[in-house]
Amino acid sequence: MPDEPAIRAQKLSRRFREVTAVDEVDLAIARGEIYGFLGPNGAGKSTTVRMFCTLLSPTGGSATVAGFDIAHRPNEVRLRIGAALQDAALDLKQTGREILVRQARLYGLRSREIRIRMADVQGLIDIGDAIDRQVGTYSGGMRRRLNLAAALMHNPDILFLDEPTTGLDPVSRARVWQEVRRLNSELGMTIFLTTQYLEEADALADRVGIIDDGRLVAEGEPESLKREIGQDVVVVEIMGDSHAALAVVQSVSGVSDARAYDTQVVARVGGSGSASIGPIAVALDRAGLAVANLSLRRPTLDDVFLEATGARLQSEQAGEPV
């Protein structure tokens, strides 16, 4: 049915003995949508994806992918999805071309179809001359792109990307973003993207879902979620005890909420944020607290995450060369 969601989950759960990794998640993702699944390590993102990809069985609830039940018709699901997962193993002694051809043959593609798909995939994924080199010579960014290319060889309806840019440098990350946009805009591919990078979800996703401790705690379009926060944010960089600064900032009129993180205090302020900067600076100065920097910004997905979970999302720094 054309209006049926590409992915639907109803009270989807997965328990590992006494640990509940995914706790009654409800989702409905439209065909042709890029959906960002946002959360820290251990929140349940990868477990959810592995269930959608039929690599794990649910212990509760149900889900359909491409219209087929993941528990009762897994083979039908696998034929229609591509998956570039974090723990995908690539044979380092094979060339990129050999890996892509093998992937195509696993899906029953014939020689002529493989040649066509190789040309298509190489046009979408920037692998270049490295396609005929052994994978052991690839950088991390190149291996990520090859893994993505392998997931696309059978031209899937739905693509699952599990933290595709973790550990990559900014240039490599930007290339992956560009490729994701092209797959969605040129092929109409539904993309389910898990990430711990706020800027990635903000830049790519039509909608985001925030998962924390196995539960879906917020969902919506990034801009809509940020508008719901509604208030300007003042960020104070402290040269000293941020908890002492927190008490001072909380006492300032107009501050509706403030929290301390290492050497930083983040405060939400009512009305005009610019009107609150002066009183905050004066209060900190009177308290004898040195301020390294004081800035004003609009709400971000980090603020949405903070509002939904009570914590900030800490992302590791990228750093592996392309």
Q: Is 288 helix (H, G, I), strand (E, B) or coil?
A: coil
- pLDDT at 96 (0 to 100): 92
Query: What is the per-residue pLDDT for 320?
Result: 38
pLDDT confidence of residue 319 = 38
Name the architecture of domain 231-298: 2-Layer Sandwich (3.30)
User: Residue 196 pLDDT > 90, yes or no?
Assistant: no
Residues 271-284: tens digit of each pLDDT: 667 888 899 999 99
Q: What residues does each domain of the chain span?
A: 7-224, 231-298
Identify the pLDDT of residue 227.
83
Flag whether pLDDT at 292 surpasses 60: yes
- The predicted pLDDT at position 163 comes to 87
pLDDT at 145: 83
Closest-CA residue to 114 (of 129, 92, 99): 99
CATH match for 7-224 among 3.40.50.300, 2.40.30.10, 3.40.50.2300, 1.10.260.40: 3.40.50.300
pLDDT of residue 173 exceeding 90, the answer is: no
Tell me if 59 sits within 8 A of 15, measured CB to CB. Answer: yes
pLDDT range class, residue 98, cuts 50, 70, 90:
very high
* List of residues 6+ apart from 56 with CB closer than 8 A: 14, 47, 50
Chain centroid to Cα 209, Å, comes to 9
